[in-house]
Structure 1
Amino acid sequence: MVKRILGLDPGLATLGFGSITVQPDESLQVLDFGVIKTAAGEEIGSRLLTIYEDLHTLLQHFQPDLVAIEKFFFYRMSNTILVAQARGVILLVLAQHHLALMEFTPAQVKQTLTGHGNADKQEVQLAVQRELKLESLPRPDDAADALALALTASFQR
């Protein structure tokens, strides 16, 4: 049975997504990847509504069996609260769709894909490119991170 996995890299300005399938023979295929963007000048409520609506559309389109999302932890960055708000909207939408969820820290993703938890972004992107047989590195970074999350989930099943 084919399994569809959607990876989501939470963010308010840019939310990355990456959709893959795991075939019965365990081979992997990329369906699509990209970002949901919100305008910095808009009110926070409008930006969260954009994420809410666009994520519903993505879920209807890809119909994932499982969603992988980055586990939130305190980053000590000025946008921590904004990312947490966006992540809350994501979790709400996933609950509304009754989807199975797996959460991974960045270190878990790095460990799974590169063999060590201190890998840099380039190493992770190269691992994603290799495992998913992409012709080039996935871009933008948020979409690459989402593919890395989906790929990590595929190895954890």
Structure 2
Amino acid sequence: MSLQTVLLGIDPGLVRTGWGVIACEGAKMSWIAHGVITPPTHLALAERLGVLSQGIQDVLNFYCPTEAAVEEVFMAKNAQSALLLGHARGATLAILAHNKMRVTEYATRHIKQALVGTGGAQKEQVAFMVRRLLPQAGTVSADAADALAAALCHGTERKTNRLLKVKHP
């Protein structure tokens, strides 16, 4: 009998942070919930990061995931955008660490490769595959789709790594 594991995927951003929660039981992965945290843009940076952290904490408290998959920064339009994204990632990683979550980070290209079959997939292709793999999720925004994609990628990686360890102790 296999045990169910609850995974949280996060696509961090200061304007929109997507999150998605899935359950893994053996080879089966199923949707639990998803959403987007949107700190008001009129707030000061510290307050926006506080809203982001509290939103993630609320998800952790409600769904009780045991592991998290976080999408890595892949590029930014300019240095200021990269810095702000870094703040959002830092707040995300800090709240996960504070909750003693096992965190795995994945490059965007790796997630796209795992889900779509090509690291250069467009956001629409990722969202399409998320809807195909998790049909019970219904309509999913781009940010939540990216977060669910990170969770699905992590679920697949966990399963693969576990099989490799069994075959090659």
SS at match of 1:116: coil
Deviation at 1:136, TM superposition (A): 4.3
Letter in 1 for 2:15: A
Partner Cα distance (1:137, 1:56) in 2: 24
Structure 1: gaps spanning 5 or more residues:
none
CA deviations 1:41-89 (Å, max 9, x no partner) are: 1111110111111211111111111100011244243421111101101
> CA–CA distance in 2 between the matches of 1:121 and 1:42?
28
Deviation at 1:124, TM superposition (A): 1.1
One-letter amino acid of the counterpart of residue 94, structure 2: L
Given the two structures, how large is their TM-score scaled by the length of structure 1? 0.93
In structure 2, the CA distance between the partners of 1:33 and 1:135, relative to structure 1 (3 Å rule), is closer
Contact 1:18 1:32 in 2 (8 A): yes
- Corresponding residue for 2:37? 36
1:104-143 correspondence runs (5 A): 104-134=106-136, 136-138=138-140, 140-143=141-144
Q: Kindly name which structure, 1 or 2, has the bigger radius of gyration based on alpha carbons.
A: 2
2:31–2:137 CA contact under 8 A, matched in 1? no
Aligned length: 155
Q: Shift in Å at residue 27 of structure 1?
A: 1.5
1:93 is aligned, of 89, 92, 95, to 95
Q: Give the letter for the 1:128 counterpart.
A: V
Looking at secondary structure, tell me which structure has more helix per residue: 2
- Tell me, yes or no, if the aligned pair for 1:126 and 1:137 is still in contact at 8 Å: no
* Among candidates 81, 84, 91, match of residue 79 of structure 1: 81
Structure 2: distance between partners of 1:34 and 1:93: 17
TM-superposed deviation, 1:135: 6.7
Alpha-carbon contact 2:9-2:21 (below 8 Å) kept: yes
2:14 to 12, 15, 21: 12
Task: Give the drift of 1:148.
Answer: 0.6
TM-score, length of structure 2 as denominator length: 0.86
> Which amino acid in 2 is paired with 1:118?
G
Q: CA offset at residue 121 of structure 1? A: 1.1
What CA deviation, in whole Å up to 9, does each residue of 1:104-153 have, x standing for no partner? Answer: 11100111011111111111111111111247442x21111100100110
User: What is the RMSD computed on CA atoms of the aligned residues?
Assistant: 1.4
Gaps of 5+ in 2: 159-169
Amino acid at match of 1:111: Q
Q: Is contact 1:125–1:137 with CA below 8 Å preserved after alignment?
A: no
